[in-house]
Amino acid sequence: MTLIQPADNVDGDIAVLNKWVEMSPSDTTSLRRVLLVEDDDILRRNYEMLLSAHQLSVCACATKSDAIAAFGHGTFDVVVLDVTLGRDFEAGFELCQAFREKRKATPIIFLTERNEDHDRISGLRLGADDYLSKTVSGTYLVARINALIRRVEALTGGAAEPVASARQQGGSPLRIDERLSRAYWRESLLPLSLTQFWILKDLFEHAGEVRSTTELMRAASITVQPNTIVVHIKAIREEIQKITPDFACIKSERARGYRWVDEG
């Protein structure tokens, strides 16, 4: 029987651990598994306690080599990565690329202090499903992890073909599958993160309306700097432009936000 005691300086959401968390080895056999890669000892322990308290079984690693070994020998429902590990400033990006090549369906979330736009773009382009700042609350992190796990479980559970949205049936090249959180452009799957999917879905469902960055944040359940929304819009456009180079359905409205305009 293992007893885990929370540290004194944990994120506010770890207040749920004001009592000792008691778990036995047998308790973890049916839990969803998370591979957590974080080099800071205190943060790693705090995140491990938080996720364990939300019924997630955590394999915590501090180095790139340990993470590679764990991923190669185990099966995980989701991976949570820091970008910088020790003196290796690109370790998380390298791990993301390696993990994505081995297992296409395993969700990957970056959880990092590196919040520059070019870092976000790099992480998402390498195949991450989400890129979160360490300033997000523990509750929000758990919610994102569970959302990604549910999406994969729906995909691997013998799901039927995605149901076309009402607007797609009206002739739009965009098709939204809300149940699987997936979007298709001209029947080609768009490799979007969950955040990008929710932003695209909101724009599409409010076609013709200007959607402010605040409204898009609300749709994606995030609170970020407005320029982060710009990064996600850019990534969405780029993915669709790989299929339709002259794609121009997402219009920028200066100082107001973005608008979806159906093809002429």
Supply the CATH number for residue 249's domain: 1.10.10.10
Q: Please give the structure tokens belonging to residue 96.
A: 């993301």
Domain assignment of residue 219, yes or no = yes
pLDDT for 155 equals 61
Q: Which one is predicted more confidently, 128 or 110?
A: 110
Share of the chain above pLDDT 70, in %: 80
Contact by Cβ (8 Å): 91, 85: yes
Q: Are residues 150 and 44 in the same domain?
A: yes
Residue 199 lies in a domain: yes
**pLDDT mean over 67-85:** 96
User: Could you tell me if residue 177 is inside a domain?
Assistant: yes
Per-residue confidence (pLDDT) for residue 206, from 0 to 100: 94
**108 and 139 assigned to the same domain:** yes
Residue 187 maps to a domain: yes
Q: Is the pLDDT score of 17 beyond 60?
A: no
Instruction: Give the residue with greater pLDDT, 229 vs 225.
Output: 229
pLDDT confidence of residue 226:
72
Output the CA–CA distances (angstroms, integers) from residue 59 to 1, 62, 138, 145, 176, in the order listed: 17, 10, 17, 15, 34
Report the pLDDT value the prediction gives residue 98, as an integer from 0 to 100: 94
The predicted structure's pLDDT at residue 151: 73
Number of structural domains, the chain?
Answer: 2
* Statement to judge: residues 72 and 127 lie in one domain: yes
The better pLDDT of the pair 264, 257 is held by: 257
List, in order, residues 6 or more apart from 168 with CB less than 8 Å away. Answer: 174, 175, 176
Q: What's the rounded mean pLDDT across residues 50-55?
A: 95
Out of 111, 133, 156, pick the residue that ends a domain.
156
Q: What is the tens place of the pLDDT at every residue in 193-214?
A: 777 888 999 999 999 999 999 9
Residue 230 burial (C-beta neighbours within 10 Å; 0-12, 13-18, 19+): middle
End-to-end CA distance of the chain: 65
Last residue of a domain, one of 156, 177, 200: 156
Does residue 112 sit in helix, strand or coil? strand
- Mean pLDDT, to the nearest integer, of 153-176? 61
Q: Does pLDDT of 21 surpass 70? A: no
Average pLDDT value for residue range 222-251: 87
Maximal C-alpha separation, the chain: 65
Mean pLDDT, all residues of the chain: 82
Same domain, yes or no: 151 and 72: yes
Q: Do 68 and 180 lie in a common domain?
A: no
**Which of 138, 156, 174 is at the close of a domain?**
156
Q: Is residue 164 pLDDT above 70, yes or no?
A: no
Q: Is residue 161 part of a domain?
A: no
Query: Residue 76: which CATH number?
Result: 3.40.50.2300
Of 40-44, 114-118, 223-227, the least confident: 223-227
* pLDDT given for residue 170 in this prediction: 61
* Domain, as residue range, for 20: 2-156
Mean pLDDT of 13-25: 37
Span of 46-60, 74-88, 178-192 with lowest mean pLDDT = 178-192
Place of tokens 């915590």: 60
**Cα distance between residue 39 and residue 69, in whole Å:** 16
Q: How far apart are CA 175 and CA 163, in angstroms?
A: 8
| pLDDT above 90: residue 162 | no
pLDDT confidence of 100, banded at 50, 70, 90?
A: confident
Same domain, 105 and 180: no
